[in-house]
């Protein structure tokens, strides 16, 4: 497992190393998120950490109160709405590249995770969902009984 350990790197090399790592796992066929077409919104990145998995998605311009995160079984659903800014009557657009509208995406996560204890945070337009490993999936020492 290629754990990213670059606290010691300066920020520039740090970002470069991260970009290379992210590229290496681009649409990794060894990991199946379940049915979702190309271009599904939001795009997600999946990471492992010591105590579980982390789902990160870029959702700029979504008001936190219009963001819904739910889980059922192995499935995690991210839904919400991105609204366009209100313009005054006299204004006209020169460019309109930013997508807006409703979105909903479900991804399938490994059974070894405890989705009931997932936590989510949203900062600077980036959603982070942390899902701990299920108790049964954690390493356990088994005591040997002697007679």
Partner 1 sequence: MIPDQEIVTKEKQQVEGTEKTRPGRYFVPDVDIAESDDMLRLWADMPGVTDKDVEIVLKDNLLTITGMVDARMYNQLSPVYTEYNVGNYYRQFAMHEHIDDSRIKARMRNGVLELELPKREEARPRRIQVQGE
Query: Please, which of residues 106-125 interact with partner 1 by CB under 8 A?
Result: 122-125
Of the candidate spans 11-19, 70-78, 112-120, 132-140, the one that interacts with partner 1 by CB under 8 A turns out to be 11-19
Residues 24 and 110: their CA atoms lie apart, in Å, by 21
For residues 87-106, which are near partner 1 according to CB under 8 A? 87-88, 90-103
Q: Is 79 left (phi over 0), alpha (psi -120 to 50) or beta?
A: beta
Q: Is 45 in the site for partner 1 (CB under 8 A)?
A: yes
**For partner 1, which stretch binds (CB under 8 A), given 47-55, 70-78, 112-120, 136-144?**
47-55
Decide the pairing of beta strands 44-49 and 67-72: unpaired
Question: Which residues 18-37 are close enough to bind partner 1 by CB under 8 A?
Answer: 18-19, 21-28, 30-31, 33
- Any contact of residue 53 with partner 1 (CB under 8 A)? yes
User: Which DSSP symbol is given to 31?
Assistant: S
Cβ–Cβ under 8 Å, residues 25 and 1: no
Which span sits near partner 1 by CB under 8 A: 62-70, 112-120, 134-142?
62-70
Phi-psi region of 84 (alpha: psi -120 to 50; beta: other; left: phi over 0): beta
């Amino acid at each position: 497992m290629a754990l990213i350990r670059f606290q010691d790197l300066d920020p520039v090399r740090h970002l470069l190393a991260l970009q290379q790592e992210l590229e290496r796992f681009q649409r990794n066929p060894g990991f199946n998120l379940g049915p979702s077409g190309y271009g599904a919104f939001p795009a997600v990145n999946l990471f492992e950490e010591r105590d579980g998995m982390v789902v990160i998605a870029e959702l700029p311009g979504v008001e936190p109160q219009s963001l819904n995160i739910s889980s059922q079984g192995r499935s995690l659903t991210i839904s919400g709405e991105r609204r366009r800014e209100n313009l005054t009557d006299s204004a006209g657009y020169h460019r309109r590249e930013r997508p807006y509208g409703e979105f909903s995406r479900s991804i399938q996560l490994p059974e070894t995770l405890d989705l009931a204890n997932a936590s989510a945070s949203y900062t600077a337009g980036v959603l982070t969902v942390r899902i701990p490993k299920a108790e049964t999936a954690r390493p356990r020492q088994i005591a040997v009984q002697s007679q």
